[in-house]
Amino acid sequence: MKRRLFAGAALAALLAYPAAAAKIKLLNVSYDPTRELYQHINAAFSKYWKAKTGNDMEISQSHGGSGAQARSVIDGLQADVVTLGLAYDIDVIAEKANLLPKAWQGRLPNNSTPYTSTIVFLVRKGNPKHIKDWDDLVRPGIGVITPNPKTSGGARWSYLAAWGYALKKNNNDEAKAKDFVKRVYKNVPVLDSGARGSTTTFVQRGIGDVLLSWENEAFLALNELGRDKFEIITPSISILAEPPVSVVDSVAAKHGTTDVAKAYLEFLYSDQGQEIGAQNYYRAQNKKIAAKYADHFPKLTLFTIDDVFGGWQKAQKKHFDDGGVFDQIYTPGA
Amino acid sequence: MHFWFKQRSVLPGFWPSFSYSVLYLTVIVLIPLSAVFLRAATNSWERFWKAISSPQVVASFRVSYETSLAAGLISLAVGFLVAWVLVRYPFPGKPLVDALVDLPFALPTAVAGIALTSLYTDNGWIGRYFAALGIKVAFTPLGIVVALTFIGLPFVVRSVQPVLADADRELEEAAASLGANRWQIFSRVIFPMVRPALLTGFALAFARALGEYGSVIFISGNMPMRTQITPLLIVAKLEQYDYPGATAIATIMLLSSFALLLLINAIQWRTRRFLQPDA
């Protein structure tokens, strides 16, 4: 609520100062861990656009939990582009508010995902509990830190990664996968509501032995908090996390920013945009850039949500909706 | 109209001030609350019932009401004590302590939650001593009570303090001179005077605790069935774009809280009438 009030105030402030008329304004509504990434992208794109068209740009960014951000856009936050944590959240904007076509994800290459990421483990320095792969998470006495998938987009990727691993290991036996995931969550002492909360729990409070984290967040944590305290463990297999992007057609049309919004997203796919992504620890789609930064990113087998779960809509319904598998894990007797 | 509005004030301006109050309450309180009910009304009865009767939701009602009640009672006892000390005893640094009481009002609740969590975890400054006794505070219902007590304390102190300050000391002296012992002075003279204020403070602290979100989600651990509070479940429902489900739970919270507050007000109204029969 506070965020929305603030966003409203920010908008009111924007409306009140139409002074610099030649300036093109763009609002990018994004999720939590992309703050640093889009600061760099916005600076680079403004320069690029100025050189190309002579127009000045003013790009604002808004961050928050992916689902909460999608809700703000549905409720009227004037986003020209959305860059969210998972496709389901953009689907909902299309479905509930009709602000963009339902087939938005086919409009840009790679499922409209300029960069990918994955779920890795952050452990304490020296890996005292010898956590190497998913199987180690269910050992008795291991504390696993991950947010509640019902309130956190990143946590949904973690949950699905664990599920996908268990499926592969048990020849697609669903019952065994459910049992495995149940045992993982049995080792979770605290379910924070968001990814940042979990990072705090693990890093500041010293609770738990392993944090399930976005790969880019894990790198950020490492850089900010010290490589002498934590290390990243890459499991043998994980999920290909695809945080997608899209123009919000109706809003951009109303603002007259359709062209620049499109160019902004295409810029993410350009060599320069891909390089900035890689420097911010996202895995680039562009092969050349990916090869250049290959030694930053450990190799592992990645499966997609489409392959294993048949897409976000199905995964959401089966696992995270009320009464879904995640609820059953915590309901006694179910 | 005049026969059922009693106008007793010698000052004019009843109608403008009355109309403005009603308008203000409507715009600020009633319309947003009716929006919740309207939204909840989009549920069929069956869906409404399903939303509020799932085991997780029922467990969260229990957690929310029990911890809020416990926190309200603790705030009541400790708040009375703090108010007593602040009113009755002069001591150096009193204005400072007095100002300190209001801090929980001003502090963003998330900050309070994070600070309390780091103090009360097993390796925190305070939590380690409890851990040595085998008591876990953070990430248990006890942790929730700690956070809610922090939030609720000023409500009781600030309700009771002015009443205590206004209380006539001569009444106590009279009681003593008539042979009342200390306990009788407290229970028969002082307590009846501050009882309405205590009730108000308790009601405020309790109601505030029920709705508290920011500080609790950090310290509770949010474990389904055990330490998940109802407001978190509402947020979880919103996260799934389940607006009708979220408003269904909110409706139940609103109605039950309203009933409780009404009850407390009724008790208070009775006490007042008992104390001042001619008022």
The residue ranges of every structural domain in chain A are 2-113+242-269, 116-241+299-330
Q: Is pLDDT above 90 for B158? A: yes
Band of pLDDT at residue B279, cut at 50, 70 and 90? very low
Burial class (CB in 10 A: 0-12, 13-18, 19+), B67: buried
Q: Do A330 and B118 touch (CB under 8 A)?
A: no
Q: Which domain holds residue B121?
A: 57-275
Is B31 within a domain? Answer: no
Residue A148 to residue B139, Cβ atoms within 8 A: no
Query: Which DSSP helix (H) or strand (E) runs through A239?
Result: strand A237-241
Interface check B40 vs A, CB under 8 A? no
Q: B254: exposed, middle or buried (C-beta count within 10 Å: 0-12, 13-18, 19+)? A: middle
- Kindly report the CATH number assigned to the domain that includes residue B86: 1.10.3720.10
Q: Does B46 touch chain A (CB under 8 A)?
A: no
Classify residue A264 by burial, with Cβ atoms within 10 Å: 0-12, 13-18, 19+.
Answer: buried
CA distances from B181 to A201, B89, B192, B195, B275 (A): 53, 21, 16, 20, 22
Which pLDDT score is estimated for B51? Answer: 86
Cβ atoms of A37 and A276 within 8 Å: the answer is yes
Closest-CA distance, B172 to chain A, in angstroms, reads: 49
Alpha helices of chain A — where are they, by DSSP H?
A: 2-16, 35-53, 66-74, 87-92, 109-112, 153-169, 174-186, 195-203, 215-225, 249-255, 258-269, 271-279, 287-292, 305-309, 312-315, 325-330
Q: Considering its fold, how many domains does chain B have in total?
A: 1
DSSP string, B173-221: HHHHHTT--HHHIIIIIIHHHHHHHHHHHHHHHHHHHHH--TTHHHHST
- Give B183-232 pLDDT, tens digit per residue: 999 998 899 889 889 999 999 999 999 999 989 998 998 888 889 999 99
| CB-CB neighbours of B101 under 10 Å | 18
- Judged by a CB distance cut-off of 8 A, whether residue A324 touches chain B is no
Query: Distance between CA A116 and CA A89 in Å, rounded?
Result: 16
Q: What is the ipTM of this complex?
A: 0.72
The answer to whether residue B37 sits within a structural domain is: no
Q: Which residues pair with A116 in a beta bridge?
A: A283
Round to whole Å and give the CA distance between A297 and A306.
Answer: 23
State the smallest CA–CA distance between residue B223 and chain A in angstroms: 6
Interface check for B32 against chain A (CB to CB < 8 A): the answer is: no
Tell me which chain A residue has its CA closest to the CA of residue B246.
A322
Whether residue B51 is contained in a domain is answered as no
Return the pLDDT at B83: 95
pLDDT tens readout for residues B67-80? 999 999 999 999 99
Dihedral, CA atoms, A223, A226, A229, A232, nearest 10 degrees? 10
Q: Quote the pLDDT of residue B1.
A: 46
Residue B4: per-residue pLDDT: 61
pLDDT by residue, tens only, chain A of 334 residues: 445 555 555 555 545 444 444 688 999 999 988 888 999 999 999 999 999 998 899 999 999 888 889 999 998 999 999 999 999 999 999 999 999 999 999 999 999 999 999 999 999 999 999 999 999 999 999 999 999 998 888 899 999 999 999 999 999 999 999 999 999 999 999 898 888 788 888 988 888 999 999 999 899 888 887 788 999 999 999 999 999 999 999 999 999 999 999 999 999 999 999 999 999 999 999 999 999 999 889 889 999 999 999 999 999 999 998 889 999 988 776 5
Assigned CATH for A2-113+242-269: 3.40.190.10
Q: In whole angstroms, what is the distance from residue A319 CA to residue A178 CA?
A: 10
- Under an 8 A CB cutoff, do B236 and A150 touch? yes
Give Cα separations from A286 to A30, A51, A208 (angstroms): 22, 24, 37
DSSP state, residue A282: P
> Number of residue pairs across A and B with CB atoms under 8 Å?
72
Put simply, the answer to whether A189 touches B221 (Cβ < 8 Å) is yes
The percentage of residues in chain B with a pLDDT greater than 70, rounded to a whole number, is: 95
Model confidence, pTM: 0.81
Look at residue B130 and tell me if it is in a domain: yes
The β-bridge relationship of strands A81-83 and A24-30 is parallel
What architecture does CATH give domain A116-241+299-330? 3-Layer(aba) Sandwich (3.40)
Residue of A nearest to B115 (CA): A205
User: Is B18 within the bounds of a domain?
Assistant: no
Does any domain span residue B45?
no
